Amino acid sequence: MKKYSIYIIMTALLFMSACDDRLDFDPKDDLTREQVYADRAGALGALTGIYSIGQIGNVFNGTLQLFGEWQSDNIQFVGSFPTFQEVSRYTTLADNTSISALWRDNWRAIGQANEVITFIPEMEDPDFTSDEREKAIAEAKFLRALLYFNMSNLFGHPFQVNGGNNLSIPLVTEPFDINDIKFPSRATLNDIHALIETDLTEAIPDLDNSDNARATKAAAQALLARLYLYREEFQKAAGMANEVINNSSFSLASDYNFYNTTANEFLFTLVNSETDSQTSNESFSGLTNPTPAGRGDAPFSQNLLDAYGEEEGDLRYSELIQIGADAAGNESVFTTKFPDAINNSGNAPVIRITEMYLTRAEANFRAGTSIGAAPLDDINMLRERADLGALASVDLDIILNERRKELAFEGHRRMDLLRNGMNLRREGMNNVAESALGANKTIFPIPVREVDINPSLEQNPGY
Amino acid sequence: MRSKITQILTLLLAFVVHVSFAQEKTITGKVTDETGMPLPGVNIVVKGTSTGTQTDFDGNYSITAGVGQVLQFSYVGMATAEQTIGASNTISIQMAEDAQALEEVVVVAYGTQTKQRLVQSVSIVNTEDIEDIPAVSPQELLQGQASGVQMVNSSGILGSAPVIKIRGVASINAGGRPLVVVDGVPLNDEALSSGQGGTALNPLADINPNDIASFSVLKDAAAAAIYGSRGANGVVLIQTKSGRQGEKTKVTLDINSSWSEVTDTFDMMSADQYRQFLVSTGQAGSVDDLPQGSYNWPENVVRTGFSKDLNFSIAGGSEKTTFYAGFTHKDQEGFIVGNNLTRFSGRINLTHQATDWLKVGANLGVTENNLDRVGADNSTFAPLTSAYLQTPWVEPYDENGNFVNTGFIANVIAIEALDINDSKTFRTTGNIFGEIKLLEELTYKMDFGIDRILLEEFQRSFEINSPEGFASDFVAQQNKHVFTNSLNYDTTFGEVHDFSAVVGMTYEQTEIRETSMDATGFLSDKQINIVSASTPGETLNRSRGNRLVGYFGRFNYAYDNKYIVEGSLRRDGSSRFGVNNRYGTFWAVGGAWVLSQEKFMQDVNWINNLKIRGNYGVSGNDRIGDFASRERYTGGRDDGDPSSGILDGNYNGVSGLRLLDPGNPNLRWEKSTSYDIGFEVSLLNNRISLNVDYYRKKTSDLILNVTIPQTNGGISSILDNLGEMENKGVDIDLNTVNIQTENFSWSTSLNLGFNKNKVLSLPGASEDSEGRRFVAGTLSQRAIEGHSVNTFYLIRYKGVNSETGNAEWLDKDGNVTTTPTTNDRVIAGDANPDFVGGLRNTLKYKNWDLNFFFNFSYGNDIFIDGLRFAENPFSFNKRTKLLNIWEAPGDNAYLPSPESSTFGVFNQRSTAQLRDGSYARLKNLTLGYSLPSEFLENSFISGVRFYATANNIWTIKDSDLKGIDPEVSDRGFSNVRQGESFFTPPQSKTYLIGARITF
């Protein structure tokens, strides 16, 4: 019969798939590190990726910034979410999952910056010019400096507590290597500040001012000015702020319509869009807009309302507020700085020139100098824009008060208070005592997950 | 492809419609066993023809045949009998037990085996065990049915995915589910659907449980090693129903209706209680200052769900052809508002003996599931979660009765009343096969199988719930095919030597493609689809897949049915692993000794069967995801889960890249080495049968997510092969016929699975303060060296000090503290039970039958994470237990003094949320009545059975579990996230009445 031929066919069938290439099934949408850093397009893509990670709420897009606003006195946190609430009630625990996510996401961004800074100089692509490389590395260094700056403010006490010798976050500048996992210990704040200063100083010459949706020279200088201010190196702070103010690419906006634009008020603004948005719910737009579109968690505190109420007709209030239902169902005042809680497309105002006027004023005042302008002139200039009358004289309280009203909800308030030795909460508010400079719960815990697996990491006291 | 199969089926169907006209005379009679008990379901064929029938419930039959023809009676476990038709119109016979006692044939991997010659540990679940359990998906039928199989329902949501473990969890970070094979086709059970806060939909929810004839659960390496790289978690073989050769065409219609309601819900404060609570704890000045509304949210998101179920099947066979066709329509309402399921399902199974050497066949099942989903667990859109947490003075309606938006804790009443949340799947599973008999002993089989799924999830949220409206659409398609060739050899020589062997190769390929988009900005709620939206959101289109090639072989040799040896071998290659480690070899050997066949046992009449067996083998686990070994930088959007913080690589319209996964090019198979020794004994005329197995399974090269400090580029873990874990235990099955008389019988079956899991070593993992290495699964549980993979690691909560009003905990050394930190965590419990099992009692009296079935779990702890929220003193509604506030020394309070520094943190993660999760549940209680055959004598109906069933109506559990369902699994399958609940919806209680009519 034909059975024997069937035999042969069958044996052939049985082993027909014996070749190995049938086992290949590669990802169709992803690249390996080698492929990414093989050419200019890939490397610049990796650089863009840092900004993209920055769009997570925990990085530049609001969660991190607003934590500080409700830990201090600008926001009355009325939301229900326990991990946010803990921070506003000074009952933060080491297993706070919002804080651990924030930690992770910022290290993700730092890690990618480390890659770009390390790998681009080693690349062989002849089409990748040295100018392009220098610019890309400078952008990454600026971003790394900003990331370290934000993290060091949250996870350790400020310079004022121990002259910068207290523990901050670990200092990591090498890219992730699967064959060399690191278990770093915490660096001192001075070490972190030194890295920030070096990164910014090296970045400034290679940056330009062409696109304020990305790192600019002025933004790097402004961050350096902020660093000097926080370190109480007032003349340097005033000098650096003065350089930014004299940069013709940027100028003080004439009114408050610049939010959510790329107006040249901004030295660097993170651009979000409907198709590439902030993390929904948890970022600037979601938290600071009333319900139902937003979450309604973060209305003005009574203390901030009172501050604006001191003077009639402050445009920084009247032009920038909306009234709506908060998370607790009450009618409250909310900011309009971060529109569109539906698609979360509002931009993040990372660094804008107004801060430089305030920094110049404060630093000059503290140093007793008048680099660029006298403190009174800077303050009156801002007051004029706010439609308030000129003052005859200024003191530190007035400068800080103006700084508060200009930069409310943008993530400055907490550090502005701490570095001036002031409690985060004003008299009459909750948790005044727990909010003093140096108090345990004014800074975040190192996430318990990290302390658990890295014995070199020391936990902050009280956690 | 599908249309081709349909054509072939149509052709085959044409063969089947076959009517016999050779009427001569009607023979009736009764078939009984040796004790005189009627035997239902005996197959009776007129030899040499296609005419056949079966006996009814009372053992009676009726068949038409001519004088001189031969009737052949066959029944499992009985010797086949033949009777030649003479003058009499009545032929009643008594069937004798088969000399080869239990010649029951069980389905094993790539073939069948007689029970006698099994050297493996296989649990069989037959139709009669499962036919009364109303199930949405196949796994539900397995709960409590087989020893060593632990099944935990993840939630009471329709279509939710249960967790199944066979002999404990054999892995830490690779998947722990068994491989499911339907009619020889290994199914993909990767979830395609979204989680919506809880678990993704059960990937097997579109396999119709009504089509299932039996399960074979392959538990040990000897049984599963032939599935090689996928056998380590055990294998569940599902056989769908089929017709029988020579069987009279049998039509079955089964209709039932059921009502389901919720079992347990938290006892939450009413609006009045809540207002008073705020005043009592100093959070409000007076009750009058607070909003005055009132609404009972938890009560209004549950309901009595009404369901209808219709199953229709037709099965039969001629001498050459068998067929089964089934149709199911299910219309089910869950007990949570807005949770509905509609199912249409059809199946056709055919075999045809074309020539004496060629047999062909096809099995094809199609299911359409339309599920109206609800969120669950960790979602503010989940009805039960939000109903618990919603402030009780918030009302869903305004004064005019219109829905309002309630903000972050969503108005779930409005969402379920208005919004669309549909998940539709269409799944086709099937295979066609041909068997060629090359020699009398040698058969070649070719099998081509497909598993194809089309899923569409559409969501539309309307103006009141999402200002400007929102819509999203997600489409996934899975295309899998399996091609298997095998040679089967089966022979007996020299009277006493039985030898069988199978060799073969199989190739599988799976590809999954996903597309999704969302948008906002709708002008009107009357516009449903994304085409009407003005603002496009994020879009996604991606694919993944894998390939697997396997070569396998097995032999079984039996000498005189006394001494049996078996060996199997498989070599698998998979695209999932690094290029250097794609292939793995798996094997098993085993043997059995049937003592009862020995001469010296022949005189021991009270022992019917006694067998001891043992085996040893190695199987693998490839459940790591398709690209886990690959280093990946990704550009666009990665996944839809904002909580992961992963968005995309792009910024401001510029394409970018970011590190998604470092991969590990050296990743290789995880291997489980196990041995199993067991014995089977049947006593007293088979009225008592007992199976006991002892096993030990050691998994090495554990695929481990080695956690690393996130200071390494934000990477949380690296997948690597490290460490060892062990499961050991005992499986016991005991079946007894307690009473057996003519009118009354009572039988009991009990199964018990004891399992002890222990992590042996985790080199490279982090060390805790005691120097033990561990891998953290959640913030509450860890796999710890020397302990279980699901060890709870928590601060110990002591309670509220009646003198001081402070909440108190124990520090690491056992001293009382009011300021515990994470350094005070200790080993506090284990999510794995000491044993699980099932107990079934079946009582029959005349035409009545009563069946009750318990399943139970003992010794496991569960962590009710949701209590941290439901007992939060500040935000959200709270459990009524919090009304017990400390006010003065001597108070035995639940909540600390509002003045205490511990007031706001008393609910922090600790043993305060840990509970004893042991339970026993009356899973199923069924009362049935079959109409006596004399009622139906002159009708075309051959049998009618009425039945009433109740499910989950009674649960024995710890008193601390009031309002808490003990069956919990938080967000799915992860082996290191077991026994936790974050508002997991409870199981439902179901009452069902139905009728089964056969023609």
Residue B98: predicted pLDDT: 64
Q: What is the rounded average pLDDT of the residues A22-45?
A: 92
Residue B19 has pLDDT above 80, yes or no: no
For B774-790, give the secondary structure using H, E and C. Answer: EEECCCCEEEEECCCCC
- Whether A32 sits inside 8 A of B631 (CB atoms) is yes
- H runs (alpha helix) in B260-381: 271-280, 297-300
CA distance A182 to chain B (A): 7
**Model confidence at B102, in pLDDT bands (50, 70, 90)?**
very low
The encoded tokens of residue B903 equal 């007031």
| Chain A contact set for B507 (CB, 8 A) | 17, 22
**Model confidence at B973, in pLDDT bands (50, 70, 90)?**
low
Residue B781 has pLDDT above 70, yes or no: yes
Per residue in B436-470, pLDDT tens? 998 888 999 999 999 999 999 999 999 999 989 99
Residue B429 has pLDDT above 70, yes or no: yes
Least confident of A400-404, B152-156, B546-550: B152-156
For the entire predicted model, the pTM comes to 0.85
For chain B, the average pLDDT equals 87
User: Is A28 touching B (CB cutoff 8 A)?
Assistant: yes
Residue A16: predicted pLDDT: 52
**Model confidence at A236, in pLDDT bands (50, 70, 90)?**
very high
Residue B379: predicted pLDDT: 83
Taking the C-alpha atoms of residue B235 and residue B219, their distance in angstroms, rounded to an integer, is: 7
List domains and CATH numbers for chain A: 37-453 (1.25.40.390)
Q: What is the rounded average pLDDT of the residues B386-406?
A: 92
Least confident of A285-299, A346-360, B200-214, B693-707: B200-214
Amino acid identity for residue B337 in this structure: V
Taking the C-alpha atoms of residue A249 and residue B661, their distance in angstroms, rounded to an integer, is: 40
- Whether A30 sits inside 8 A of B633 (CB atoms) is yes
Taking the C-alpha atoms of residue A454 and residue B879, their distance in angstroms, rounded to an integer, is: 38
Residue B395 has pLDDT above 80, yes or no: yes
Residue among B880, B912, B960 nearest B808 (CA): B912
Which among B663, B711, B766 is the nearest to A170, CB-wise? Answer: B711
| Chain B contact set for A172 (CB, 8 A) | 711-712
Per residue in B590-648, pLDDT tens? 999 998 888 888 888 888 889 999 999 999 988 888 888 889 998 876 543 444 434 57
Per residue in A79-122, pLDDT tens? 888 899 999 999 999 999 999 999 999 999 999 999 999 999 99
Residue pair B161/B202 in contact (Cβ under 8 Å)? The answer is yes
Taking the C-alpha atoms of residue A392 and residue A380, their distance in angstroms, rounded to an integer, is: 9
- Count the residues in chain A: 463
Beta-carbon neighbour count of residue B7 at 10 Å? 10
**Model confidence at B820, in pLDDT bands (50, 70, 90)?**
very high
**Model confidence at B971, in pLDDT bands (50, 70, 90)?**
low
Q: Is B593 exposed, middle or buried (0-12, 13-18, 19+ CB in 10 A)?
A: middle
Taking the C-alpha atoms of residue A458 and residue B747, their distance in angstroms, rounded to an integer, is: 64
Please report the beta strands in B33-127, taking only residues with DSSP state E, as ranges in sequence order: 43-46, 52-54, 60-65, 70-74, 81-84, 93-94, 105-108, 111-114, 122-126
Residue A234 has pLDDT above 70, yes or no: yes
Residue B366 has pLDDT above 90, yes or no: yes
Residue B85: predicted pLDDT: 85
Rounded to 5 degrees, φ, ψ at B698 are -115, 120
Residue A8: predicted pLDDT: 61
Which among A80, A94, A213 is the nearest to B408, CB-wise? Answer: A80
CA distance B725 to chain A (A): 21
- Whether B657 sits inside 8 A of A25 (CB atoms) is no
List domains and CATH numbers for chain B: 2-94 (2.60.40.1120), 105-192+201-240 (2.170.130.10)
User: Is A458 touching B (CB cutoff 8 A)?
Assistant: no
Beta-carbon neighbour count of residue B23 at 10 Å? 10
CA distance A48 to chain B (A): 5
- Whether B713 sits inside 8 A of A95 (CB atoms) is no
Least confident of A15-19, A190-194, B274-278, B344-348: A15-19
Omega before residue B932 within 30° of 0, cis: no
Residue A15: predicted pLDDT: 55
Torsion sign (Cα): B803, B806, B810, B811: negative
DSSP state of A276: B
Residue B2 has pLDDT above 80, yes or no: no
Residue A306 has pLDDT above 70, yes or no: yes
- Whether A103 sits inside 8 A of B909 (CB atoms) is no
Query: Could you tell me which chain A residue has the CA closest to the CA of B411?
Result: A292
- H runs (alpha helix) in B181-233: 221-224
Query: Could you tell me which chain B residue has the CA closest to the CA of A262?
Result: B652
Element (H, E) at B432: strand B420-437
Residue A4: predicted pLDDT: 63
Residue pair B24/B67 in contact (Cβ under 8 Å)? The answer is yes
Residue among B520, B525, B524 nearest B535 (CA): B520
Residue pair B422/B445 in contact (Cβ under 8 Å)? The answer is no
CA distance A379 to chain B (A): 34
Residue B24 has pLDDT above 90, yes or no: no
CA distance A80 to chain B (A): 5
Least confident of A277-281, B180-184, B422-426, B678-682: A277-281
DSSP state of B329: E
Least confident of B90-99, B581-590, B674-683, B951-960: B90-99
| Chain A contact set for B549 (CB, 8 A) | 17-18, 22-23
Q: What is the rounded average pLDDT of the residues A374-394?
A: 97
Separation in Å, CA A45 to CA A29, A173, A277, B650, B666:
14, 20, 18, 8, 27
- State the DSSP string of A231-271: TT-HHHHHHHHHHHHT-TT----SSSTTTTS--TTEEEEE-
User: Is A54 touching B (CB cutoff 8 A)?
Assistant: yes
Q: What angle is formed at CA A283 by the lines to CA B642 and CA B821, rounded to 5 degrees?
A: 80
For B628-665, give the secondary structure using H, E and C. Answer: CCCCEEECCCCCCCHHHCCCCCCECCECCCEEEECCCC
Taking the C-alpha atoms of residue B142 and residue B191, their distance in angstroms, rounded to an integer, is: 20
Share of chain B above pLDDT 90, in %: 49
- State the DSSP string of B559-606: ETTTEEEEEEEEEEEETTS-GGG-EEEEEEEEEEEEGGGSGGGTT-TT
List A residues 76-115 in contact with B (Cβ-Cβ < 8 A): 79-82, 85, 89, 91, 93-95, 97, 101, 103-112, 114-115
- Whether B654 sits inside 8 A of A48 (CB atoms) is yes
Disruptive mutation site among A4, A5, A10, A25 for chain B (greatest number of B CBs within 10 Å): A25
Residue B863: predicted pLDDT: 95
User: Is A449 touching B (CB cutoff 8 A)?
Assistant: yes
Query: Could you tell me which chain A residue has the CA closest to the CA of B824?
Result: A463
- Whether A48 sits inside 8 A of B657 (CB atoms) is yes
User: Is A22 touching B (CB cutoff 8 A)?
Assistant: yes
Residue B942: predicted pLDDT: 82
Beta-carbon neighbour count of residue B128 at 10 Å? 11
Per residue in B915-953, pLDDT tens? 999 999 998 899 999 888 787 777 788 888 899 999 888
Residue B13 has pLDDT above 50, yes or no: no
Residue A247 has pLDDT above 80, yes or no: yes
CA distance A104 to chain B (A): 5
Q: What is the rounded average pLDDT of the residues B711-732?
A: 92
Residue A18 has pLDDT above 70, yes or no: no
Residue B644: predicted pLDDT: 40
Per residue in A204-215, pLDDT tens? 999 999 999 999
Residue pair A375/A361 in contact (Cβ under 8 Å)? The answer is yes
Which among A56, A172, A281 is the nearest to B647, CB-wise? Answer: A56
Taking the C-alpha atoms of residue B887 and residue B869, their distance in angstroms, rounded to an integer, is: 23
Count interface pairs A-B at CB distance under 8 A.
Answer: 298
**Model confidence at A3, in pLDDT bands (50, 70, 90)?**
low
CA distance B763 to chain A (A): 13
| Chain B contact set for A31 (CB, 8 A) | 632-633, 657
Largest CA distance in chain B: 100
- Whether A32 sits inside 8 A of B630 (CB atoms) is yes
- Whether A450 sits inside 8 A of B710 (CB atoms) is yes
Residue A249: predicted pLDDT: 96
User: Is A186 touching B (CB cutoff 8 A)?
Assistant: no
Residue pair B307/B330 in contact (Cβ under 8 Å)? The answer is yes
| Chain B contact set for A213 (CB, 8 A) | 652
Tokens 């996928």 belong to which residue? B230
- Whether A115 sits inside 8 A of B713 (CB atoms) is yes
- Whether B713 sits inside 8 A of A175 (CB atoms) is yes
Beta-carbon neighbour count of residue B372 at 10 Å? 17
Residue pair B920/B856 in contact (Cβ under 8 Å)? The answer is yes
CA distance A258 to chain B (A): 18
Q: What is the rounded average pLDDT of the residues B140-149?
A: 81
Element (H, E) at A221: helix A217-230
